[in-house]
Amino acid sequence: MIEIDFLWVGEKANTGDAITCHFTDPATGQDVVIVIDGGFVETGDRIASHVRQYYGTSRVDLVICTHPDDDHIRGLFAVIEELDVARLLIHRPADYGYTGDNVKSGLVDDLIATARDNGTIVDHGFAGTTYFGGALTIAGPSEAYYQEMLAEQVGYSSPTASVVRALSKAASAVVVAIRSLGRDPGETMTDDNGGTTPRNNTSIVTNLALDGSRAFFTGDAGVPALNRAADHLDAAGKSGAIEFFDVPHHGSRHNLDPDTLTRLLGPIVGDDAVGSAFVSIGREAEDSDLLE
């Protein structure tokens, strides 16, 4: 059995990810606790309290920082400082020559330093890395795709990129207006609405398969990153029915399209479908930003 908890993150429209998992390691028979992302600064204390209260331990076997956006990484400092964290999995832009605010290299290095100061082993594995007797598989990104997304992040805030994004946004507005004329208010998902950011596509995508159950954690990954992760799992013989699906990026329309959903979850089959999906959103988030 896999016990999965999503802790609330942020106030009002702000949101983020703070996920804890508890299960038995099939290789050792020992209890395992993992944390996937830590929300904002104030979320870290709640994660530590949750682990102690509900899992009955102060040990965390693995912390995964999917990507260094503030709503995912900031709370992990307190998690590492307050709990006995064995390992931290994080990707480091500076290892590939990328530094600066565009890639959040300083924040990543600060978390790595905090981990090492507290006796935590730091891992940098990519797609194919496994933990706990193979129960947990890192499905993405590959190292090559991560570097590709780093390069895109560096150019993402350039004047040229800003103009392109502005034109794309204007074009999307026209499409929405046309759909409205055709009695489609744009509430149904027809594509990924231009895609998500390069940093979101660096998100670590995680596959947890145990006792015939499978949970799929996505961070803020978008369509290209999710399909690459699915390609890896297909090649490794680790695909199949997903019982628990972590909807990426808090339900943003920019992260999924119908083909990717069908590939990951199968076709719509009616009321007899098995499994569940979870979307973490702010208490006052606008519905227009979410998948219907």
All domains in the chain, ordered by first residue: 3-289 (3.60.15.10)
Q: What is the pTM of this model?
A: 0.87
For residue 145, give the H/E element and its range: helix 143-156
What is the arrangement of strands in the sheet containing 130-131, beginning at the earlier edge strand?
130-131, 136-140, 205-210, 213-217, 244-246, 276-278
CB 256 within 8 A of CB 263: no
Residue type, 64: I
| Span 197-227, pLDDT tens digits | 999 999 999 999 998 899 999 999 999 999 9
Of 258, 246, 238, the C-alpha closest to 218 is 246
Of 89, 115, 98, the C-alpha closest to 217 is 89
Lowest average pLDDT, out of 79-88, 172-181, 227-236, 273-282, goes to 172-181
| Span 120-136, pLDDT tens digits | 999 999 999 999 999 99
Instruction: Please state, in angstroms and rounded to a whole number, the distance separating the CA atoms of residues 89 and 177.
Output: 44
